[in-house]
Every structure is written in C-alpha cells, then in structure tokens.
Amino acid sequence: MSTLTSAHSLWTLAADTPAGRIPAPVIEYAQLAPTLIVVGAAVVGILVEAFVPRRSRYYVQVFLAFAALASAFAAVVGLAAGGYGSTKAHIAAMGAIAVDGPALFLQGTILLASVVAVFTFAERRLDPAAHGNRVDSFAAQAASVPGSDSEKAAVKAGFSTTEVFPLALFAIAGMLIFPAANDLLTLFIALEVFSLPLYLLCAVARRQRLMSQEAAVKYFLLGAFSSAFLLFGIALLYGYAGSMSYAVIADVVDGTITKIDPALAGTMGNDVLLLMGGALILTGLLFKVGAVPFHMWTPDVYQGAPTPVTGFMAAATKVAAFGALLRLLYVVLPGLRWDWRPVMWAVAIVTMLAGAVIAVTQTDVKRLLAYSSVAHAGFILAGVIATSAEGVQSVLFYLAAYSFGTIGAFAVVTLVRDAGGEATHLSKWAGLGRRSPLTAAVFAVFLLAFAGIPLTSGFTGKFAVFSAAAQGGAGVLVVIGVLSSAIAAFFYIRVIVLMFFSEPKADGPTVAVPSPLTMTTIAVGVAVTLVLGLAPQYFLDLAGQASTFVR
Amino acid sequence: MENLIALLIAAPLLGAVVLLCGGRRLDRTGHWIGTLLAAVSFGIGVALFADMLGRSADDRTLTQNLYTWIPVEGFQADMAFQLDQLSMTFVLLISGVGTLIHVYSIGYMEHDERRRRFFGYLNLFVAAMLLLVLADNFLLLYFGWEGVGLASYLLIGFWQHKPSAATAAKKAFLVNRVGDMGLSIAIMLMFTTFGTFAFGPVFGAVGEASEGMLTAIGLMLLLAACGKSAQVPLQSWLGDAMEGPTPVSALIHAATMVTAGVYLIVRSGAVFNAAPDAQLVVVVVGAVTLLFGAIVGCAKDDIKKALAGSTMSQIGYMILAAGLGPIGYVFAIMHLVTHGFFKAGLFLGAGSVMHGMNDEVDMRKYGALRKYMPVTFVTFGLGYLAIIGFPGLSGFFSKDMIIEAAFAKGGTEGWILGGVTLLGAGITAFYMTRVMLLTFFGEKRWQPDAQGHEPHPHESPKSMTIPMVILAFGSVFAGAFFEIGERFLTWLEPVTGYEHGNPPVSAMTVTAATMVMLLAGVGIAWGMYGRRPVPVLAPRGSFLTRAARRDLYQDDFNHVVLVRGGEHLTRSLVYVDHSLVDGVVNGTAASVGGLSGRLRKLQNGYARSYAVSMFGGTAILIAATLLMRAV
C-alpha cells in the first residue's frame, strides 16, 4: 500500500525513448520441448485422422498420444535435471513462458496424469462389442443426431471417434502452457487452447448422448462467459500497467517502474483498474478451478461428459488452473496481497463449505465426485492463500496427490455397469463390496484419500495445505477447513458403508473386467495414493524444491 | 560381547517367524527348528554368562543400542538392551527351562497335527520374554510384556476346538488387559515426571520426584505385576489357563511368564524403595495371594489346577519378598529361580502322568502310579520335596530366606508377615503331600475314559523324561548351590542392593518353626489321604473346601461386582449416548442435510441461472476487492 502511494508521486516522468528496432524473436526450443512435443503430436494426430485407414487409426492414435506424453514427460524430467527448475530458471520465448520449478512440477504432474487418463480414453473392453466391433466410451460418430439412422449406421459400420486423442493432446498442450504463461496474452491463449477441445470432448459420449451434448453446451456457454471476464480483466490490467508482462505489471504494482506510457497516460497507475482487473482475472481462473460461486457448471458437466473425460478434466484442468492462479497471485499481484487475501479467504471458506454440504445429498456418483472436487478446490485455495513457499509446496503436492486419485476414482466408475452403460446412481452401488470386493476396496481407498484419512495421500496433502495456511495466519480458515473435511468425510464414508454393509440388489450392476489399460490407471492411482500417504517426504521435498517462481 | 545380546532374542524370534510363516512343508521338521533355536539362545546366554563372570562385579552390565525405535523430539525410545546380573539370571532361566520344555514338547505334542504352530508360539514366547527382561527402558519392556501376553493367549487357547480353552484364553487376555493398563499408566506417569522412561535416568532421578507420584507409579506397576503374575485381585485367570497344553503350563504359567511381575517390582526397586506406602501394598498383596493360592490348591482335584494354586501361592512369596525392599529382593529372585526348576519339573511330571492316563486330570482317578511310572515318580517326588522345603533341597533354602526376611521386617508387621509365611509353608506341605499321595500312592482308582478305553499307565518317552530328570537335579541342588558361600547374594547384590535384616528371632528358630509346620502339613495330609482310602467321587466337604473348590468365589465376585457393575455402567452410558450425544450429532447432521437439500435447489440445470450466479459472484468479488481498499 505504502509503496503504491509513494510510487504515484514518482510517475511524473514521461517515457522519453521512442520504440527502437523490433528485435528478432528468440525461442528456446529445447526449453519449450514438452509443450512443443505435445502440440506437434496433436497436429500429427489430425493428419492421422485424414490419411490413416480407419481400421488402424485407433492404434496409431493411442500409440502417438502415449509416445508424445511420455517423451514430453522425459523432456520435463530432463529440464528439471538440468537445473531449469532451480538455478537456471528463467523466462523463455521472449518473456511469454516461464521455465521454473512450479511450471516444471505442474507440467510433469499434468503429463503423468494425462498418460493414465489417456489409458482410460483407449479402453475398449467395458461395453459389449457392437456388431463385432470393440467400442470405447465415445460416440461412433459425434456429428450424427442421437437416435438417428445415421447414428445407427455409424455404429454398425464400427466407426469410432478417434479424434478424441488429438483433441486431448491439444487440451494438454494448452494446460502445459497455462501454469507457465508469463504474460496475460499467453495466459488467455492457453486458456482457450485447452478449453475448446474440452468442450468438444464433453459432447462425445457414446451413451446418454443428449445429456453429454447438454453438458458440453453448458460448459461452452459458461466457459465463454468466464473467458469474457478474464479478457476484460486483462484489458483493465493492461490499462493500468501498460504491459501484458507479469513482471512489468508486478513492478508497476510495486512502484519500481515509474515511467508512464504516453498512450495510456489517462489510465496508467489507476488503482481501480488494477483492482477490478485483478478481480476479473481471478474470476476467470476461479471458474476453471471450480470455486464457489463459479462452480455451478461442475456437477452438470462432470455428470454429462464421458467418464474418462471427466476424470481427465477433473484432474488436469484443476492442476493447470491452480498453477496459473498461483503464478498470478505470487508473481503478478504479491504487492496487492493485502487486498486479495481477504477476498480469497471468503471464496475458500464458501467453496469448502458449499462443496461439502451440497455433496451430502447427492445421489449420483459422478455428481458426488464433482461436489467433492469443489470442496477440494476450497482446500487447495487455503494453501494458495498462505502466500509462502510452504503454501506453494503444499499446493503442488496436493494437486499431484489429488489428480491421480481422481482419475483412478473415475476409472472405477467406468467399471460399474448395467444394461444402460455406467450405473452411476448411488443406490445401484449398494452391496458392491459383497459382489466385487476388490473393485469396492479400491474405490474405498480413493474415497478415504479424498476424506483425508491418515496413511493416504489425502491426509498428507490436507495436512500440508492446512499447516501452510495456519503458518500464514489463517487459523480461522483452517478450522473451517477441518469442519468441512468432517462434513465431507460423512458422504465419502457413507458410500463405503453403502458398498460394504448394504445388501446387494437383485438387479444390481455388474463390474466389467477392464483391459490392462484401465487396470494400469487404477493401479497407478492406488499406488500414488498409498505411497504419498505412507512415504510422502521425498515428494514433499520435491515440491518444496520446486516452489520458487521465476520473475 | 554386547553385540550378542540382540541375538539372544533374534534366534527364537527367527524360529517363530519361520515356523508360523513356513507353512505345511515344515510340519515334519518344525519342532526341531524350534528346539534348536531355543537351544542356540541358551548357548549364547551361557557364553554371555561366562563372559560376565570373568569381569569384576561392578563392571558386569552390558548394553547394546540397536537403533532408535521412536525418534521424536522430546520422546526418545531406543531399541536398546541392558544385560546385568538380574537380566542374566532370567536369560538363563528362560532359555534354559525353555529349551528343556521344547524338548519335552517334542514328545508330548507328538500326535498333535498343529505341532509346528505350537513350537512357533513357544519360540515367540521365548523371544518376547527375553525382550521383556533385556529391555533397557520401560517402553521396550512393555513391548515384551504385551508379547508374552499374546503368546500366553495363543497357547492357552491352543486347543481352540475346546470351548473351555477358548474361554480360558479370552479370560486370561481380558484380566491381563487390566494389569497392562496399569503398566501403561505407570509409563505415562514416569514420562510426565521424569521426561524419560529409560531405566537408568528414571531410577537416577527418583530423588527429585514427590513421594505421592512415586507411590502412584509404584501402585500402577504393582497392578501390572498383579495381572501378569496372577496376584489378588487379578488372580482369576491362572487356574483356567491350565486348559493350555501342559508344557505351556510348565513354561509360561509356572516357571517364567508369571514371574514377570516379580521381575518388574525388583527391577523398579528404586521407585518402591522411595515409596513405602506402595511397598506396603505390595507386601499385603503378596501375603494375601500366598494364602489364597495355598487354600485353593488344597481343594482342587484337578492335578494341574492344584499346581496352579501352588504357583500363585509361591509367587505370592516372591512378591511379598520383593515388597520387603532391599532385604528381600535377592531372595525373591532366588526363590523365583528355584521355583522355576521345581515347579516346571512338577508340571512336566503332571504332564507325564496325564500322558500315561489318557489325559485324565482328576487325581481322584489316579493312585498307585509309582510302580508304573518310576522316573516320573522319582522326579516328581524330588520336586515335591523341594517345594515343601525339605531340608537340603532347593525350596528349603530359598523359602527359608523369605520367611526370615519377613520376620526381619520388624514390629507387628514383621510378626504378621512371618506368621503368614510360616502358615503358608505348612499349607504348602499339606496340599503337595495330598497331590503326591493321590497320584502315586494308595490304590488304583483308574476309570475308563469317555470312549471306554481303560488307561494303561506307562512311562513317558525319553524326550519327556530327560528334561524332567534335569529339572529334578535343579530342584535338588540349586538351592544349596546358591546358598553356600552366599553365591547368589554376592551375584545379584550389585544390581538390587541388599540390606541385612535383623529378625527378632534367630535363624535357627525360624528354621525349626518351618520344620514343625512342614511336618504338621505332611502329617495332616497323610492322615486324610494316606491312611484312608480315597473316594473316587469327591465328598461334599466342609464350607471351606467347597469355597476353595470354587476358587474362594473369585469368579462369582468378579461377576457380581465387575460384570454386573460394568453392564449397569455401559447401559447408563449408552442411554446418555443415545439421548444426549446422538441428539446433538443427529441434530447437526439433520441441519447439514437440510441445508444441503436447500442449496441443491440452486443447481437447477439452467445455464442462465448458473451465469447469473457467476455474474453475481464476480460483482461481489470486485465490490469486495474495492471495499478492502476503501476500508
């Protein structure tokens, strides 16, 4: 505050140097390799759709997606090993993209989560074969009207929407840039790059297509709405600082930059623009993380989207969006933290409580998990608010722990099926533990982790987040967080009770035997949940080393 | 040498792991593995003992710190062992008698198809018991304490197909929980008072604590000792524990585990020395149990239960001696060791008799067995002479020292305690003579068993008789060996401390009085069971006999006071829980549910409503941000 007011008196000098020659852009390709690999693979994927025969497309696409994600992850590891997460952290691509600890950690998390998510995309053994062709979770032909003859013909011909793989790769590419974006324009472009494919992915469910399309339209409308807020906020911030660059805006906020762009003399340094712009950008990001009151799309979209997409979205979007939120608050607006902290406090509290409370009366597994993700967004916000290295560390750890558990949980949801596809109504899960003890036990592990029971990753994550928040002086927030956890524990454990201590129904669902793909996803989810719960120290240290933003 | 200490425990522990995890493929060799590993432990014990003798008396304590078990700031527990003369005594007793009983069990359990598992449990017991006596802090001791409790539970209930065995195991477990609670509370009190629970620092800092606190710690330790050593009021489980296989009764419920309470009190001598009130309670408990066990032992017709009563009574002697303070510690341990020999021998003898008599335990259906089982008769007879304190045998020396020490307590107390111990000696002579006469003398009173098989008593196999013979040697000579030249006193004194008491009567008088009581006891028993034929069906008996048969109504007392009382307490708690606690909890849950149902309605499915919510949220966010600045 004081620096700001003192800064105003200094803004008297006009910019005297005219714009010089435009420098030739320098792009550090090697440091951007993770993103470039994924984008490249996505483009190749489009070509595959165009040129590879329909029969072999599935295999080529799965292989391509997997190879791209794996090599991108290898590139991330290579960069981290090369010191780009710590000593060599810097800003690449002409100030557009940061290569630093948080960016690499989040990119690694997104890539690994995407690998297991893509495995569930590729699953083709859950539904019975239609006309001798194995089918996955996606519509035979997304463009045909549900229930129409064209749809039937497509099913009969054994079509499948293999476009989902390049779409997912595009989304992943956007997500990789999102937390690394170092100027507002890149941030916006990354947001759109990962949002648009997600809207499409939501619309292509094989079963209950109308619901899927409804979800996609809602997601698109509300997403566009929130993008508008974000864009408006970007405009206001530009008006305030005269630059899109995070570093420059931060300097203007701090008062270290005192020159005023003559073209913006009327608005630059106007705090109302800063505050409104900051709030509007926050709105856009809070929409993506699903914080109350911007969460209302989550249950509808989570329920309607094909379940593999839901898992992917719930995990990877959240990681990317929280990454961007962290960078915005820690790099751009730290000088403003006395302004945004109380507001974010309120958002975190409302998010935790509303997510937990509304989940109590849910009757659909996917909606339940959606509200649970809202509550988790609130817990993570508590760590964000800490504004300390521990806060960043705890959020990074929480995101890693949460994303694998979430993808695993949604993968289990895809297994429980009846004649109409996935049986997501909770009443159908009664007595599942009697019929399929292993499946129910695995789901119980995920639920216990979400509830934050010790020896699971959820406990470690919650503990880290809450202790960071408490050290940051947010004691009240921690108390409310623990109370919400208690409410949340109720509905998680209610599902466990339902699965293990209720009589199975006569016409209950069956548990499909998945291919090794989904099994791997679930096994990785369980393994991460238990390892991060039993021996979290290595990963906490890793997140701790990765907790410094470059500016 | 100190590096060998952990091996003492590791050998039987390895045996337990191998035997319990090894599966059926070890069924044919398992008993040998178990016995061998127990013997290895004994061998290491002997080596350590020889090494210890080679060093001067004040340089005999070895310590080994394996690793820090619980490394929390301000709460350090080490996996550390301490081997001093007291621990050494126990190590030799546990591993020595343990090995003999392993050997014995090879024969005794020959026809049991779960023999491998039995040896696994025995090894587990030996390991846990060694951990108990080798621990250098109370927390590790507690670990061993629970370990022997577990082994005891598993072995009492070993024949789990018998409901009585399962019930007995459960009873032993539950009663022991009460005592274990005492030990854990004692450890917590120590930690709050001294900030540590390692032996050295705690005993060194006793002077800094208030006497009230020390009394509390002492009483809690005593509670623990009562549970493990079957002392009044936690005595009720020992008689039922005889449901376990006889080698178990010999090893765990006679020679070793039940003496853990004595070890605990002697080990914590520094605490008790500074808490005279606690010591007084210890002495009272010992005295009461001494008579209680002896009286129960007089009336039982089941040979093992009679011996169990005797065990209780003998441990009463030890607890009493331990409660006397430095004048009694050494004698408590000395009696413990000699008792280990003769009581284990007696139990093995009883097992041998049962082995020959189709597992019959009712002594009224024995008689005249001396001709059929000469080795058992002789070894059992020597054990018998030792326990009643026949001059020159083990029990004579060790018990005599306790009686003298009791008199030496001084004042009225001394007279009362001396009187009780003397009376106890007389009753011991009575009930042991009764056992002897009913079993080996008189006429055959054998009955066919439930399947109609006539018993054909025969001598047991070598694997059973050899351990009995070795133990008989111990019963005969151990006391004299310890006493001549005060060897045992010199050995143990550096650890436990010793004070020579001054009895108001001379040692000769005490010995003479003991002899009179002994003769009286033997004489009365002869009059009742030797001269007259013994009826196969027990006569109704006097009120005292009937009471003693029912263990002096211990179970009835427990039922009325504890079970009924507990039921009433839980019922009232359940009422409070239902009406008050649940009311609050359910009320909260209902309000959360109601709120949830209302909030859910906001989620109406219309994108326009969602957009309004977002718009409103953004407006509030901006307003709040601006407001923050304005304030």
Whether chain B has a CB inside 8 Å of the CB on A4: the answer is no
- The Cα B121–Cα B302 span in angstroms is 25
What 3-state DSSP class applies to B499? coil
pLDDT tens for each residue of B7-48: 999 999 999 999 999 888 888 888 999 999 999 999 999 999
Which DSSP state fits B454? Answer: P
Tell me the residue length of chain B: 631
Residue A233's closest chain B neighbor by CA?
B622
Q: Is B477 exposed, middle or buried (0-12, 13-18, 19+ CB in 10 A)?
A: middle
Instruction: Choose, out of B604, B618, B628, the residue to mutate when testing the contact with A (most A CBs < 10 Å).
Output: B618
Task: Please state whether the predicted TM-score (pTM) of the whole model is above 0.90.
Answer: no
Interface touch B596/A346, C-beta < 8 Å? no
What confidence category does residue A6 fall into, taking pLDDT thresholds of 50, 70 and 90?
very low
Q: Tell me the backbone φ, ψ of residue B458, rounded to 5 degrees.
A: -150, 160
pLDDT over threshold 80, residue A286: yes
Whether residue B614 and residue A225 make contact (CB cut-off 8 A), yes or no, is yes
Give the span between the Cα atoms of B422 and B458, in whole angstroms: 38
**Chain B residue closest in CA terms to A290:** B614
Phi and psi dihedrals of A360, rounded to 5?
-60, -35
Buried b (16+ CB within 10 A) or exposed e, A221-236: bbbebbbebbbbbbeb
Structure tokens at B98: 């343990």
Q: Could you give the dihedral angle defined by the CA atoms of residues A245, A251, A255 and A256, in that order, rounded to the nearest 10 degrees? A: -120
Q: Which residues on B lie below 8 Å from A359 (Cβ)?
A: 596
- pLDDT surpassing 70 at residue A533: yes
Tokens of B361: 């335990």
Task: Give the pLDDT band of residue A269 (cuts 50, 70, 90).
Answer: confident
Q: What is the pLDDT of residue A347?
A: 95
Q: Do A342 and B597 touch (CB under 8 A)?
A: no
Dihedral sign (CA B242, B245, B249, B252): negative
Residue A484 in this model has a pLDDT that exceeds 70? yes
Q: Which helix (H) or strand (E) holds B174?
A: helix B163-194
The residue whose two tokens read 């509200």 is A371
Res A19: pLDDT: 58
Residue A16 sits at φ, ψ, to 5 deg, of -105, -25
Average pLDDT, chain A: 91
Q: Which residues contact B324 (CB under 8 A, 6 or more apart)?
A: B279, B283, B405, B406, B408, B409, B417, B501
Q: A3 falls in which pLDDT band (50, 70, 90)?
A: very low
Q: What is the CA radius of gyration of chain A?
A: 23
Sheet holding A421-422, edge to edge: A421-422, A416-418, A510-511
In angstroms, the separation between the Cα of residue B76 and the nearest Cα of chain A is 21
To test the contact with chain B by mutation, choose from A218, A341, A361 the residue with the greatest count of B C-beta atoms within 10 A, namely A361
Residue A497 sits at the chain B interface (C-beta within 8 Å): no
**pLDDT value at residue B105:** 93
Q: What is the ipTM of this complex?
A: 0.90
Residue A486: is its pLDDT beyond 70? yes
Q: How confident is the model at residue A20 (pLDDT cuts 50, 70, 90)?
A: low
Residues of A in contact with B624 (CB under 8 A): 342-343, 346
Note whether A232 contacts B: Cβ–Cβ < 8 A: no
| pLDDT at A1 exceeding the cut of 70 | no
Partner residue facing A361 (CB), from B600, B609, B624: B600
* Stretch among A432-441, B249-258, B554-563 having the lowest mean pLDDT: B554-563
**Mutation for testing the A interface, residue in B599, B612, B620, B622 having most A CBs under 10 Å:** B622
Q: At A318, which helix (H) or strand (E)?
A: helix A318-327
- Residue pair B94/B16 in contact by the 8 Å Cβ criterion: no
Does residue A15 have a pLDDT over 60?
A: no
3-class SS of residue A494: helix
d(CA A12, CA A55): 69
Distance from C-alpha of A447 to C-alpha of A94, rounded to nearest angstrom: 44
CA A514/CA A438 separation, integer angstroms: 13
Kind of pairing, strands A97-99 and A421-422?
unpaired
Contact predicate A523/A457, CB 8 Å: no
CA nearest to A319, candidates A386, A375, A378, A402: A402
Are B625 and A487 within 8 A, CB to CB?
A: no
Cis check: omega of the bond before A262, within 30 degrees of 0 = no
DSSP-derived letter for residue A14 is: B
Distance CA A15, CA A33 (A): 37
Which pLDDT belongs to residue A327?
94
The answer to whether A487 faces chain B, any CB pair under 8 Å, is yes
Query: A91 pairs with which residues across the strands?
Result: A98
Structure tokens at A345: 């406090």
How many angstroms separate the CA atoms of A466 and A462, rounded?
Answer: 6
Query: Shortest CB distance from A222 goes to which of B589, B607, B622?
Result: B607
Residue B43 bridge partners (DSSP)? none
Label residue A172 by pLDDT band (50, 70, 90). very high
Question: B605, A354: Cβ pair inside 8 Å?
Answer: no
DSSP designation for B319: H
Which one of A272, A280, A297 has the shortest CB-CB distance to B618? A280
How near does any CA of chain A get to the CA of B148, in Å? 29
Amino acid identity for residue A110 in this structure:
I
A294–B617 CB contact, under 8 Å: yes
A346 touches B at CB < 8 Å: yes
Mutate to test the interface with A, among B602, B621, B628 (most CBs of A within 10 A): B621
Helix (H) or strand (E) holding A122: none
A280 and chain B in contact, CB less than 8 A: yes
- The whole-angstrom distance between A173's CA and the closest CA on chain B is 27
Query: CA-to-CA distance for B594 and B590, rounded, in angstroms?
Result: 6
Contact A218 B610 (CB under 8 A): yes
Q: Are B629 and A275 in contact (CB under 8 A)?
A: yes
SS3 category, B304: helix
As a whole number, mean pLDDT of residues A279-290 equals 94
The minimum CA-CA distance between A287 and chain B, rounded to whole Å, is 8
Nearest CA to CA, how far is B607 from chain A (Å)? 6
Dihedral sign for Cα atoms in the order A266, A269, A274, A276 = negative
Residue B621: helix, strand or coil by DSSP? helix
Predicted confidence at residue A18, as pLDDT, reads 54
State mean pLDDT over A233-247: 92
3-state secondary structure of A76: helix
Cβ neighbour number for residue B453 with a 10 Å cutoff: 9
Predicted confidence (pLDDT) per residue in B503-522, tens digit: 888 888 999 999 999 999 99
Q: Is A300 close to B605, i.e. CB distance below 8 A?
A: yes
pLDDT band at B74 (very low <50, low <70, confident <90, very high): confident
Chain A environment of B630 (Cβ under 8 Å): none
pLDDT band at A4 (very low <50, low <70, confident <90, very high): very low
Q: Name the residue among B364, B358, B591, B362 with its Cα closest to residue B454.
A: B358
Over residues B52-76, mean pLDDT = 84
| Residue B113 φ then ψ, to 5° | -75, -10
Of B597, B610, B625, the CB nearest to A222: B610
Q: Which residue has the higher pLDDT, B502 or B201?
A: B201
Using the Cβ of A167 and the Cβ atoms of chain B, whether some distance falls under 8 Å is answered with no
B584, B588, B596: best to mutate for the A interface, most A CBs within 10 A: B596
Of A505, A510, A406, nearest in space to A458 by CA: A406
Q: How does residue A261 score in pLDDT terms, banded at 50, 70 and 90?
A: confident
Angle at which helices A365-385 and A297-304 cross, to 10°: 130
A116: tokens are 């297991």
pLDDT at A442: 96
In this prediction, residues B102-106 reach a mean pLDDT of 93
Residue reference for tokens 């577990």: B150
Which one of A225, A296, A357 has the shortest CB-CB distance to B603? A296
Write the DSSP string, A213-266.
HHHHHHHHHHHHHHHHHHHHHHHHHHHHHS--BHHHHHHHHHT----B-GGGTT
CB-facing half-sphere around the CA of B140: CA atoms within 13 A? 26
3-class secondary structure, A549: coil
Three-state secondary structure call for residue A306: coil
Confidence bin at B153 (pLDDT 50/70/90): very high
Per-residue pLDDT at A420 exceeds 90:
no
Rounded to an integer, what distance in angstroms lies between the CA atom of residue B113 and that of residue A450? 48
pLDDT at A13: 43
Question: In chain A, whose CA is at the least distance from the CA of B591?
Answer: A357
Contact B596 A287 (CB under 8 A): no
CA angle, corner B80, sides to B75 and B82, nearest 5?
A: 125
Please answer yes or no on whether B625 and A338 come within 8 Å at the CB atom.
Answer: no
DSSP A183: B
d(CA B183, CA B263): 13
Contacting residues for B204 by C-beta, under 8 A, at least 6 apart: none
Q: How far is B588 from chain A (nearest CA, A)?
A: 10
Q: Model confidence over B82-96: pLDDT tens digits? A: 999 999 999 999 999
CB pairs under 8 A between A and B: 88
Give the mean pLDDT of chain B.
Answer: 91
**What are the tens digits of pLDDT across the range A106-164?**
999 999 999 999 999 999 988 888 888 888 899 989 889 998 999 999 989 888 899 99
Contact B617 A282 (CB under 8 A): no
- Cβ contact, residue pair A275, B624, below 8 Å: no
Classify residue B3 as exposed, middle or buried by CB count within 10 Å of its CB (0-12, 13-18, 19+): exposed
Give how far the C-alpha of residue B538 lies from the chain's centroid of Cα atoms, to the nearest Å.
Answer: 31
Q: What is the pLDDT of residues B322-370, one digit of tens each?
A: 999 999 999 999 999 999 999 999 999 999 999 888 888 889 888 888 8
> Tokens in use for A407?
């993808």
- Flag whether residue A360 sits within 8 Å of chain B, measured between CB atoms: yes
Chain A closest-CA separation from residue B23 CA (Å): 26
| Tokens linked to A401 | 């722990």
Taking the C-alpha atoms of residue A68 and residue A42, their distance in angstroms, rounded to an integer, is 9
Comparing A460-464, B27-31, B377-381, the range with the smallest average pLDDT is B27-31
**In this complex, is the C-beta atom of A322 within 8 Å of any C-beta atom belonging to chain B?**
no
Q: Can you tell me the distance from the alpha carbon of B547 to that of A205, in angstroms, rounded to the nearest whole number?
A: 81
Each residue of B193-232: pLDDT tens digit? Answer: 998 889 999 999 998 889 999 999 999 999 999 999 999 8
What are the DSSP E strand ranges found in B88-201? none
Q: Do B596 and A293 touch (CB under 8 A)?
A: no
Query: Residue A463 pLDDT more than 50?
Result: yes
3-state SS class at B362: strand
Q: B301: which DSSP letter?
A: -
CB atoms within 10 A of CB B167: 14
Across the interface, which of A293, A359, A487 has its CB nearest the CB of B614? A293
CB neighbours of residue B564 within 10 Å: 11
Q: Could you tell me if A390 and A99 are in contact, meaning their C-beta atoms sit under 8 angstroms apart?
A: no
- Distances in Å between the Cα of A531 and the Cα atoms of A407, A435, A460, B211 are 16, 28, 10, 49
